Amino acid sequence: MSKVLSGKENRYYGKFFSVMTVIVFLTISILSSILYLNFERIALNQSYDQTMDSLAQTTQEASVMAVTAATFAKQIHNDQNIANLLNFSNVSAVDVSTAIKQLTNYRETSPFIDSIYVYNAEASTFYVSTDMSVPAVFSESEFYDLDMKKMLRHIEDYETLMPIPRKLRIEGLAGNIAEKERDTYTFLLYDTLAKSPQRNAIIVNIKETQLHKHIDGSLTNDPANTFLIDKNGRLVSNSWTTPMLTDMRGTSYIDRILQNGQSSGYFASSVDGIKSLVTYSEPDYLGWRYIRIVPYAVISERIDSMRFKTLWIAAAILLVGLALSYLGSRKLFSSLNNKLSRLVNLESEQRESLQVMRSEYLRGLLNGYTNTDSERAKVMFERFGIKLDPSQPCRVLLITMDDYRSLMDQYTTDDRKLLRYGILNIAQELLTRVGRSAATADLGEDRGAIIIQAANPEEDEGEAYRHYSDLLQGAVTEYLKLSITISSSMNGLGIQSVHSLYQQAVEASFSRVFSGPGSYIDAETVEQNKAKPYEYPLNKEKQLVDELMLGRMVEVKRLFNEIIGATVNFSYISYQLAVSHLTFAVQNAIRTIRQHSSASEELTIPSHQLYTHTQVETLEEVTKRYMALFDLLEKYMDEKKKNRQDDLPGRIRRFIDERYADQNLSLEMLADEMGMSATYIGRVFKQHTFQTILGYIQEVRMTKVRELLIETDDSIGDIAEQAGFANNPYFYKAFKKHNGVTPAEYRKSGRGQLNDGHEDDAILA
């Protein structure tokens, strides 16, 4: 504005500018002072909060460790094969061998189990499963774990199924030349009601490295030292400077923590001559406290930097604010009253706008929060110029803009509003030309609705509505260069049914995922599909996960397309169920692959690869996204195979693939063939393939059985023998557990699908 202010206006302007300047100055000065004086307290509180979050995660890991160990101990105790070792002093060699194999299976199911002992007090015998090259059976006098023998003599002093931190000494033990001892958490399971001083026991030893990994892993790239102590101040995990089981009492900061009882908190103290921030948690249910020590210099460095930056930024903002205040207030003041007056008038005009009120009323009808009484509706229709008869049948057409995410990138909010306005105008004009009474409503975002006067409800006008939709879609594509999907409700009796009709159309619009963009969806067809019972194929999901873990992506893609493609003729809920099941199964498989990947082979899955139903509009998009995910997994697993220096897992798989029919095929046979210990090849195979050798043998045999059941007429017993199964009762039980059906049911179902496929081919031909 170039207008020169009068003397009176100058006085008002001077007051206005002075007030704005003082407010800006005081606000920035006060805020800067508060921040400057409180940075240290804020930084310490933030450090404490972040540390407590990390320590809370570690507490959960310790709880999971304890619960897992207790569960394993109870499973072992309830295992019938192992019960023979506990309850009988004379056990046959065959039973001992079977029980030891079962113990080994339990141990190998979890990477953090160090060893498992079964102690028979009456026979004074230990039965052992460990990754060390030692015998599986020891007399008590010859047993290498001397501390365990002492613990069992005073077993009542230890609480059952609670972790006992200790060092498992193995110095001088054959096959373990370099290793002198292992840090473990021992869990004892024994009969607490027995009166005999010598009691049978199940002993599970958990590796300390498993818990320590989670302690360090939650605070990576951090100069802090994190460790655990018990209620007596003894270390129950290794720290950077002090080994496990060291008594930390007498250390000033540990004594201070112990004196605080059950609370958590933080304080500054000298640790090893360095001023540090000591953060500690309250004792968990094991009585353990989690302590983290951070050099104070790390925190103070950030504080000093922020203080300096605050002063400079505050000064810069103050100067810029004063300059802008002067320029802005001068221009603003001269036209403030005029603009406020115009704004009030515009708001008044907008509130009184007939078009706005009309749209709001129609949205209310559709969403069910407006009175639908026929007489009241008739009055409102006349007021807003809506050419509909409230007492006559009607139908709702829902318009959905396709590929709306790209439209959001291309157009502003106002531009998208204009596009909806254009679509609804085209719809109104087309329906007027064909003599149909209709009212349109802008629903915001990607949707608009048409309430159209229908003929008698008993009359079928499906083809007419499809024709109107085709005309509208063609016109929108021609004039606005857009694609729209139209979903139609069924006919309703009057205006009181508009809300339910709108809900029908909304539900029908979800089926765009099947029909694709630019389609017409009829609610009646959707209702028919909803009536069809859908059963999710859990057996195919299991096969898909198995093939995924083995890296057979061609089969994975085929199974995925079969499962998702089968939902096309059912409801949208069935599709959501199938995709949710598959998403959960694939995510679990990816999580397992990540857990078994080394740091150098880390698997990274971009977040956009994983499915959420709000991110895709069509079945093709879902399939494309998952195909890309499977390609990524295939590339990762291929690279992982190429990077292996040792092809032992490949040799094992090839041997099993060639000799699966040999009923004597076992872990011991493979060990003899490879010239290595059974424990070693079992561990290496599981690290690289994420499954046990016995599990892979079972998978290969089951694959052969399924193939022979479909392709041959041989008896089920002969097929079992051809695949390497010796015990028919065990084969039937294993087959049903693995496939969910009996062999006979599988053969019947598989051949039925094969015959259906041949019939379809014949029809096409």
pLDDT single digits (tens) 564-582: 888 888 888 888 888 888 8
What is the model's pLDDT at position 456? 54
What is the model's pLDDT at position 357? 82
Question: Is pLDDT of 376 > 80?
Answer: yes
* More confident call, 662 vs 598: 662
What is the model's pLDDT at position 723? 87
Give the pair of three-digit tokens for residue 612. 């959420």
| Identity at 544, one-letter amino acid code | L
Close Cβ partners of 235 (under 8 Å, ≥ 6 residues apart): 227, 228, 229, 242, 243, 244, 245, 246, 247, 248
Query: Class of 79-211 per CATH?
Result: alpha beta
* More confident call, 648 vs 631: 631
* More confident call, 478 vs 66: 478
Most confident of 185-199, 277-291, 448-462, 701-715: 701-715
Confidence of residue 400 (pLDDT cuts 50, 70, 90): very high
Are the CB atoms for 206 and 113 separated by under 8 Å? yes
Q: Torsions phi, psi of 397, nearest 5?
A: -105, 125
What is the model's pLDDT at position 485? 92
CATH code assigned to 354-531: 3.30.70.270
Q: What is the CA radius of gyration of the chain?
A: 37
Mean pLDDT value across the chain? 80
What span, in angstroms and rounded, lies between the C-alpha atoms of 457 and 461?
9
Long-range contacts of 739-747 (CB under 8 A, 24+ apart): 739/539, 739/702, 739/706, 740/538, 740/539, 740/542, 741/539, 743/705, 743/709, 743/716, 743/719, 744/716, 746/706, 746/709, 747/709, 747/710, 747/716
Q: What percent of the chain has pLDDT over 90?
A: 6
Over range 235-255, report the average pLDDT.
84
Most confident of 3-17, 237-251, 290-304, 602-616: 237-251
Over range 301-308, report the average pLDDT.
67
Confidence of residue 645 (pLDDT cuts 50, 70, 90): very low
Are the CB atoms for 125 and 137 separated by under 8 Å? yes
Q: What percent of the chain has pLDDT over 70?
A: 81
What is the model's pLDDT at position 2? 40
B/e letters for 67-78, b = 16+ CB within 10 Å, e = fewer, are ebbbebbeebbe
Close Cβ partners of 266 (under 8 Å, ≥ 6 residues apart): 44, 47, 48, 51, 277, 278, 279, 280
Are the CB atoms for 280 and 253 separated by under 8 Å? no
Close Cβ partners of 156 (under 8 Å, ≥ 6 residues apart): 197
Give the pair of three-digit tokens for residue 135. 């015998």
Which stretch of 83-92, 259-268, 589-598, 694-703 has the lowest confidence by average pLDDT? 589-598
Confidence of residue 338 (pLDDT cuts 50, 70, 90): low
Which stretch of 228-242, 329-343, 438-452 has the lowest confidence by average pLDDT? 329-343
* More confident call, 276 vs 204: 204
* Domain parsing of the chain, residue ranges: 79-211, 354-531, 535-630, 644-765
Token match 């027995």: residue? 194
Give the pair of three-digit tokens for residue 361. 């009323």
Are the CB atoms for 82 and 99 separated by under 8 Å? yes
Question: Is pLDDT of 685 > 80?
Answer: yes
* More confident call, 314 vs 497: 497
What is the model's pLDDT at position 204? 93
What span, in angstroms and rounded, lies between the C-alpha atoms of 61 and 64?
5
Give the 3-state DSSP-derived string for 3-30, with helices as H, strands as E and coil as C.
CCCCHHHHHHHHHHHHHHHHHHHHHHHH
* More confident call, 583 vs 176: 583
What span, in angstroms and rounded, lies between the C-alpha atoms of 437 and 17?
59
What span, in angstroms and rounded, lies between the C-alpha atoms of 564 and 623?
8
Specify the length of the chain in residues.
Answer: 765
What span, in angstroms and rounded, lies between the C-alpha atoms of 116 and 108?
11
Give the pair of three-digit tokens for residue 340. 């406020």
CATH domain 644-765 topology: Arc Repressor Mutant, subunit A (1.10.10)
Question: Is pLDDT of 623 > 90?
Answer: no
* More confident call, 390 vs 3: 390
Over range 366-390, report the average pLDDT.
83
What is the model's pLDDT at position 128? 92
Over range 317-343, report the average pLDDT.
65
What is the model's pLDDT at position 133? 80
Closest to 738 in 3D by CA, of 542, 472, 558? 542
What span, in angstroms and rounded, lies between the C-alpha atoms of 183 and 116?
15
| Angle of CA points 251, 257, 260, to nearest 5° | 140
What is the model's pLDDT at position 643? 58
Tell me the pLDDT tens digit for each residue of 584-614: 888 888 888 777 665 555 666 654 455 554 5
Question: Is pLDDT of 156 > 50?
Answer: yes
Tell me the pLDDT tens digit for each residue of 69-85: 888 888 888 888 888 88
Token match 């096309």: residue? 568
What is the model's pLDDT at position 732? 87
Tell me the pLDDT tens digit for each residue of 35-56: 666 666 666 677 677 777 766 6
Question: Is pLDDT of 441 > 80?
Answer: yes
Confidence of residue 765 (pLDDT cuts 50, 70, 90): very low
